[in-house]
Amino acid sequence: MPTTLVTGANGFVAAHIIDALISSGHDIVGSVRAATKGKEILDLHPEWASKLKFVPVADYTKAGVWDEVFHEHDVDYVIHSAAPLLDDERNTDFERDFLKPGVDSALEILKSATKYGKSLKAIVVTGSINAVTTGQDVGERVYDSNAWLPLAIKDAIEVQNPYISYCVSKAEAEKAIWKYVEDEKPAYSVSVLLPALIFGPPIQPIKSVKKMNYSTDRLYELFNGTFEVVPPTSFPSYIDVRDLATAHIKSLTTPEVFNKRFLVGGLSYSTTIAVNSFKSVPELKGRLPKENDEVAKVPLFGDVHDWNEKLDLKLRSADETFGDTARRVLELEKQLGV
């Protein structure tokens, strides 16, 4: 059975990646900031215990921090999903909280993999469409695998805005990855997936419905009384987290995406689409905001559907994605309180 290293194993996306990897027969080494985080995962998912072990990595940017992981485990694949979080209130400085952890964590895992990953075949990285756009130019330019964010480090330093910092750091981290690949020509392949918004039922450890993960929190606001009227859409495209997990796993062994960056998903999204899907959940009757008069923007995607086809993705419907998310959050309300 292949062994796969998953970084940031207690995250929203990583939890689904782990679930899908186990279903595909992988043994998993998951990195977490502290051993207690690993315990929380197995307390929630005891069915994963025989296939999942954890390594505590407190500082993903420290030189050589991944060396021991590759020494102790014969790793076949890596899925690097760990990254600075947009919704972490402690992240206020671009260079300290976004740029350095984003770039250095990616480079350190590449360096250790090159030195000690003797069985390593592929690394797949969870990137973001924010390496392409902030969303301010929807409908004005085409988003495809060749497009890059029209902002630079100096822009992020100047404005010190968490969202701009996040976008620029995603672009700079990815550029650092591709420069490393070009310069070092590692024996393993590297693929970077660029999803837009990521929605779906949260299966990672959660302590309060007041803070689950960024995208689930935004959906929860649509039925927890935050809004009387459906709010504006932040970005008009998404992918189901379960489909994204599948895309990661298929990218490990699909030659057509080796050493490529590519958009994935590309489904149309608006807050109205989400609210209309919530109407299929009986428990949400009386909890949904009133309709708005927003005219949803339509992103211009150049090649996202081509990449979906290369990975043979069968994307879930909006009713499935948003209905499943709502039902999971309702379960969490009962378990954790409101």
Split the chain (338 residues) into runs of 10 and give each run's mean pLDDT. 97 98 98 96 98 95 95 97 77 88 96 97 98 96 97 95 95 98 98 98 98 97 98 97 98 98 98 97 98 92 98 98 98 95
Q: How far apart are CA 313 and CA 131, in angstroms?
A: 22
For residue 90, the model assigns a pLDDT of 77
Collapse the DSSP code of 135 into the 3-class scheme (helix H, G, I; strand E, B; otherwise coil) and give the result: coil
**pTM (two decimals):** 0.97
Return contacts of 328-333, CB within 8 angstroms, 24+ apart.
Answer: 328/201, 328/202, 328/203, 329/201, 329/202, 329/209, 329/212, 329/216, 329/219, 329/220, 330/281, 330/283, 330/284, 332/202, 332/206, 332/209, 332/212, 333/209
For residue 112, the model assigns a pLDDT of 98
For residue 84, the model assigns a pLDDT of 78
